[in-house]
Amino acid sequence: MTSSSGIQATLHNADLWKKFNSPMEMIVTRKIGRKMFPILEYSVSGLNSTAMYEIYLHMERMDDHKYRYRNNEWENYARGDPITPVQKIKHQSGAQSGMFWMDGPISFEHIRLTTNSKAEKKDHIFLQSLHKWRPVVTVRKLENGDENPNFDEEFRIQNVWFIAVTTYQNPAIKCLKVENNKMASGFRSTGNHKNSLPTRGTKRTASETFPTPPSSTSPPSKMNSNGHFSNAHYSNQENFDFSMTGNSHQYWMNPDQNTWIYGYNMEQQMEQPVINQWNMQNFGHPTNLNYEQYGNPNNTIGPEFYHGLNNF
């Protein structure tokens, strides 16, 4: 569209808007507002490259009717709500030279539509639901760095209008938006956006949670009836020296650190697998074993503290 001054404004993404051959629907919400899709992107020409301009956007009620979607079409069914004052939103780039505005598309992607008439955020535009609205872009020329309303020029693009709704009424419009909006991939049957999420964690087995110690420090495989290891000779005999006590070292669990400790005087710790036959007997007196169970080398009942330890 070209004005008498020679300034021209066109819709930069007109091809996308043309895909919606039915009356366009735009969602409006109350709390945080809803961004438009398709967004409004304009291209301007005919500006003085060195002069300063500001660009504004507002929504204009097209008529005094209220509409409803019935029998797969929109129809006028009531008198419209009282028309509200015009609310112009300045482009976030502020005052810029004509060359700046003509250099690329002017996007109003940050604009949000709301049904809250008391919204105070500067990028929110209040709209009445079930009414027809047309976006209007205004080019304001600044004289000596000051705003001069006498130089405002408004541009309305033909066939660019919509009906404000709180939920989509025409299924075809909703499908077109899902198909063309890159931010709506989660609503597509082939989106599979959840499948691309990174794995949050992998459940570990008991052997991974409590690694088996190296063979050089593994305890002997035989024990006597008292639950003590026999006085045998091993390749790492120094780890089983019993000169301090006269008895072979016992393996026992430190419940505060979830680790197995061997030796009375070595004060060394190592991680072990879950409780089993060869180390169960050296716990002392577990609270959940009776006298007959305690000392039985075939007993596999563990202390209450460790029940469910491997069910994380």
What pLDDT score does 184 carry?
Answer: 61
On whether both 149 and 108 belong to a single domain, the answer is yes
Residue 189: pLDDT band (50, 70, 90) is low
> Up-side HSE of residue 279: CA atoms within 13 Å toward CB?
18
Query: What is the structure's pLDDT at 303?
Result: 46
Shared domain for 66 and 154, answered yes or no, is: yes
Q: Report helix, strand and coil shares of the chain as percent, to nearest 5.
A: 15, 30, 55
CA-to-CA dists, residue 194 to 49, 183, 186, 197, 203, angstroms? 48, 14, 8, 6, 20
Q: How many structural domains comprise the chain?
A: 2
Same domain, 148 and 280: no
Asked if the structure places residue 310 within a domain, the reply is no
Q: What's the pLDDT at 94?
A: 95
Q: Sorting pLDDT into bands at 50, 70 and 90, what band is 266?
A: very low
83 and 53 in a common domain: yes
Cα separation, 109 vs 230, in Å, equals 80
Same domain, yes or no, for 121 and 157? yes
Structural domain range at position 112 = 8-186
The whole-number average pLDDT for the span 168-179 is 92
Q: Are residues 240 and 178 in the same domain?
A: no
Rounded-to-integer distance, Cα 246 and Cα 302, Å? 28
Same-domain check for residues 210 and 284: yes
Tokens of 159: 């066939």
pLDDT score of 99: 97
CA dist 271 to 100, 206, 215, 266, 279, Å? 68, 12, 13, 15, 13
Residue 265 domain-assigned? yes
Listed residues 134, 157, 186: the one ending a domain: 186
Whether residue 311 is contained in a domain is answered as no
Segment among 5-14, 62-71, 133-142, 221-230 with least mean pLDDT: 221-230
Residue 19 belongs to a domain: yes
Higher pLDDT, 18 or 150: 18
Same domain, 37 and 175: yes
User: Where residue 16 sits, what CATH number does that domain have?
Assistant: 2.60.40.820
Q: What is the mean pLDDT of residues 160-176?
A: 94
Best mean pLDDT range from 134-138, 180-184, 300-304: 134-138
